[in-house]
Structures are given as structure tokens and as C-alpha cells.
């Protein structure tokens, strides 16, 4: 039987940690009209905000864990209700009570891996740089121009190691003076923070910051929009200010400066998927497209929902580790949209999006109809 958390305890926690904007909501329901969950099942952010306002939130229900923090509802809200902050605040309450419904029970194991090995897979920290074997990638040393920070998925996931390797190969080709920290790195902490585990996020962040400072890091190039968002926007809370650049921005600069020469054609019809944390949250839309438009032979077609209106892949907000019914995956909709455009490849710039889209093309039996690529994988083929 579900229990209702005490009124005062929940509402105080939500307003303290999520901001008291919940009290300004006047229940217009615009959040529900744009929420991708309502494309695959019934879901109401409006209802969750109302329940939080009156202290009626049932922290045992999966509903408070569904928000992918995609950012669609805040951009449409006429009252500036902080929906994302409020959902995270509720999750902090649940995490404090160690209450996790079945779909998000993997968060416990993820937390353990992050605390012990600095990655969500609980893989040996010593193997974090194994992806770079044979690529002449150096350990970062003070004075180097750039620290390349891959992310946990590009370090350990077999599919996404290809992205890290493509990135390193491109940087080497362009003559960039870069290095990696390998086993000294932790997860950036973005996703575990979104699940409500604030203490673990702060621990990971402080350890990363100390490592960056101790090694003389000033400029960081990242593969993941989630790392980008965290290092650039959330680590500011710790009074540090590193120069953070997403790989799509960095590549655009290299191509425009003539440091990276494109010598081959890529005669394919493709579409670009805007990741939520690169586009909607951080306004990076033009650089990835700019890189792709520089490639001869590419026919770039826009998605029906693109740029600021891009459809979330479903992996944000910690959902990358949650159990999601196959019929309820947003990425299924995205793959179907791409198929409808008649493109050969969906290109993106986010490890989470690649994971979701790769899974959906298999689930939907489109493995032979469409491919999923990172922007670095295309560029590697044409330089």
C-alpha cells in the first residue's frame, strides 16, 4: 500500500531545494501539451506540480521519476514554474528515504558504481582509458591546449567507444595538443543529480574539480552534452570557471580555421537530431549543422521537430538507467520520423541519444533501413 509523505516535510523540501515557484502554478496545463510522455502514455506534470504544492506527493509512485528534464515544459510555462527543479527536489526526498519504485531500482546499483569506481557501470576505474589503446593519446599534462573528457558511456560502452576513438583520431589529425585524464576522471555527476542524489553529485564534482586544478586544466572539450551542461553551468556553484566546449563546436572551429581538411564526399541523405542538453538547454544548434554542411555530398534534411522543438530521446533525467517499456520509448517516435523522411542516417552529438536511437531501430526492426551516427564518426570518414 502506498503511503503519502507528511505534508510539511515534502513541501518544505520541495520549496527549499526546488524553489518555491510551485506556488505560482495556475494549472493551465501547457506543460502537459508539450510533454513527450503524453505521446506514449498518459502523464500529467500539471498534476504533479499541484500535488507538490499541497504536499500530497506520493514519493513511492514512479510518476515523479518519469520527467526526463528535457526542458520543454519550462520554455512554454507562462508562470516560470520550475518543473524540473521541483521534480528533482521530490526525488531528493525519495532518495533520502531510500524509496525507489521498481522501474528505477537500478539507481541503487548505479550510485554504488559511481561512489566506488566513478562510473555508473561499476567498471574498474583503471580501465577507463582503455578505449584509447593504439591511438597515440597522451595523458593530460599541464600546458596542453585541451583536456578531452569523453564521458562514462564513451569510455566503457562498446558502441560508444567508437565515438571516443573517432574524436581522438580527428583531434590528432588536426594537430590538436590534447590529453586525457583516464583513471583520474569521475563521472561528471549530471544524471545522478537529476535522480535526486545530491550528495553523490557534490562528491563527484569536487573530486573532478580538484583533479582539473591539480593537473592545470583550463580548457575542456567534451563528447556529452550532459558533461557540457554540468561543467559549464552547474560546476559554477563551486566557484570554478573552466572553458568548456562541446565537440561539435570545437570541430566547427577546426574546419573553419582550416586545421581540419575534408577531402572526401559523403553522398548520403541524413537528418540531425538535436539533443535536449545541447540544444534546448544550451542553445547549440548551428555548429553541428555547420560541420555537416561542410561535408561534400551530404543532403541534410530537418526533422519535423527540430532545434528548440526537438523531440527528447527519453534518456535524460537519469532515465538512461531506468526501465522503460519498449512501447513507451520516445526514441521509437524519433526513428519513425526519420524513416518517414527517407533518410539513410540519423546523426546526433550525444551518447545518450545514440544509445536510445540504436535501441529503437532494433526494437522497431529498422536495423537495415537506417543507421545512427555521431557527428565525429561521419567526419572521421571524410578527412
Residue 39 lies in a domain: yes
Same domain, 43 and 160: no
What per-residue confidence (pLDDT) applies to 2?
A: 40
Q: Which of 46, 73, 99 is the last residue of a domain?
A: 99
Short-list 357, 364, 188, CA closest to 274:
357
Same domain, 198 and 246: yes
Same domain, 192 and 213: yes
pLDDT digits 0-9 by tens, 276-327: 999 999 999 999 999 999 999 999 999 999 999 999 999 999 999 999 999 9
Same domain, 306 and 235: no
d(CA 185, CA 264): 35
pLDDT digits 0-9 by tens, 123-178: 999 999 999 999 999 999 999 999 999 999 999 999 999 999 999 999 999 999 99
The edge-to-edge listing of strands for the beta sheet with 219-222 is: 178-179, 146-149, 219-222, 243-246
Q: Which of 50, 72, 99 is the last residue of a domain?
A: 99
Same domain, 129 and 193: yes
Split into its structural domains, the chain has a count of 3
What per-residue confidence (pLDDT) applies to 13?
A: 58
Residue 1 lies in a domain: no
What per-residue confidence (pLDDT) applies to 7?
A: 41
Residue 64 lies in a domain: yes
Q: Which domain holds residue 358?
A: 261-382
The edge-to-edge listing of strands for the beta sheet with 299-301 is: 299-301, 269-272, 345-348, 371-374
pLDDT at 263 over 50: yes
Residue 2 lies in a domain: no
Q: Helix or strand or coil: residue 215?
A: coil
Q: Helix or strand or coil: residue 222?
A: strand
User: In CATH, what number is assigned to the domain containing residue 314?
Assistant: 3.40.50
Q: pLDDT-derived band of residue 57, with 50, 70 and 90 as boundaries?
A: confident
Residue 148 lies in a domain: yes
pLDDT at 236 over 70: yes
pLDDT digits 0-9 by tens, 268-289: 999 999 999 999 999 999 999 9
d(CA 85, CA 91): 10
pLDDT digits 0-9 by tens, 353-368: 999 999 999 999 999 9
What one-character DSSP code corresponds to residue 132?
G
Interval 89-95 mean pLDDT:
93
pLDDT at 1 over 80: no
Interval 208-230 mean pLDDT:
98
Of residues 58 and 234, more confidence is placed in 234
Q: 1-10, 190-199, 308-317 — which is least confidently predicted? A: 1-10
Same domain, 289 and 338: yes
* Side-chain half-sphere exposure of 185, counting CA atoms within 13 A: 29
Same domain, 134 and 223: yes
What per-residue confidence (pLDDT) applies to 60?
A: 84
What per-residue confidence (pLDDT) applies to 378?
A: 97
Same domain, 93 and 148: no
d(CA 282, CA 232): 10
Q: Cβ(67)–Cβ(83) under 8 Å?
A: yes
Q: Which of 253, 270, 293 is the last residue of a domain?
A: 253
Same domain, 123 and 247: yes
Same domain, 192 and 54: no
Rounded to two decimals, the pTM is: 0.93
Same domain, 294 and 375: yes
Same domain, 65 and 121: no
Amino acid at each position: 500500500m502506498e503511503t503519502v509523505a507528511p505534508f510539511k516535510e515534502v513541501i518544505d523540501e520541495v520549496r527549499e531545494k526546488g524553489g518555491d515557484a510551485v506556488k505560482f502554478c495556475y494549472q493551465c496545463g501547457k506543460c502537459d501539451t508539450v510533454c513527450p510522455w503524453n505521446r506514449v502514455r498518459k502523464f500529467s506534470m500539471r498534476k504533479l506540480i499541484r500535488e507538490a504544492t499541497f504536499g500530497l506527493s506520493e514519493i513511492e509512485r514512479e510518476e515523479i521519476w518519469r520527467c526526463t528534464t528535457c526542458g520543454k515544459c519550462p520554455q512554454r510555462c507562462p508562470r516560470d514554474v520550475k518543473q524540473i527543479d521541483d521534480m528533482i527536489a521530490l526525488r531528493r526526498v525519495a532518495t533520502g528515504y531510500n524509496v525507489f519504485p521498481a522501474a528505477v531500482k537500478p539507481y541503487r546499483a548505479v550510485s554504488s558504481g559511481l561512489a566506488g569506481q566513478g562510473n555508473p557501470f561499476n567498471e574498474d576505474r583503471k580501465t577507463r582509458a582503455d578505449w584509447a589503446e593504439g591511438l597515440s593519446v597522451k595523458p593530460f599534462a599541464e600546458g596542453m591546449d585541451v583536456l578531452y573528457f569523453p564521458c562514462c558511456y564513451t569510455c566503457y560502452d562498446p558502441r560508444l567507444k567508437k565515438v571516443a576513438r573517432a574524436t581522438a583520431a580527428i583531434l590528432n589529425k588536426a594537430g590538436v595538443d590534447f590529453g586525457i585524464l583516464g583513471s583520474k576522471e569521475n563521472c561528471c555527476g549530471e544524471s545522478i543529480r537529476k535522480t535526486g542524489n545530491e550528495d553523490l553529485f557534490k562528491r563527484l564534482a569536487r573530486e573532478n574539480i580538484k583533479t582539473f586544478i591539480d593537473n592545470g586544466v583550463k580548457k575542456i572539450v567534451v563528447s556529452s552534452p550532459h558533461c557540457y551542461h554540468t561543467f559549464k553551468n552547474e560546476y559554477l556553484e563551486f566557484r570554478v570557471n573552466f572553458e568548456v566546449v562541446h565537440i561539435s563546436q570545437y570541430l566547427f572551429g577546426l574546419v573553419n580555421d582550416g586545421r581540419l581538411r575534408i577531402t572526401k564526399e559523403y553522398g548520403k541523405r541524413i537528418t540531425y537530431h538535436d539533443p535536449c542538453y545541447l540544444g534546448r538547454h544550451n542553445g547549440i544548434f548551428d555548429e553541428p549543422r555547420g560541420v555537416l554542411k561542410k561535408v561534400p555530398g551530404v543532403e541534410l534534411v530537418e526533422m519535423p521537430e527540430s532545434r528548440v522543438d526537438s523531440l527528447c530521446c527519453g534518456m535524460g533525467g537519469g532515465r538512461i538507467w531506468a526501465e522503460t517499456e519498449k512501447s513507451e520509448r520516445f526514441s521509437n517516435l524519433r526513428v519513425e520520423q526519420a524513416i518517414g523522411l527517407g533518410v539513410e542516417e540519423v546523426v546526433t552529438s550525444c551518447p545518450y541519444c545514440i544509445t536510445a536511437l540504436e535501441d529503437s531501430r532494433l526494437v522497431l526492426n529498422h536495423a537495415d533501413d537506417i543507421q545512427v551516427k555521431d557527428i565525429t564518426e561521419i567526419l572521421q570518414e571524410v578527412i
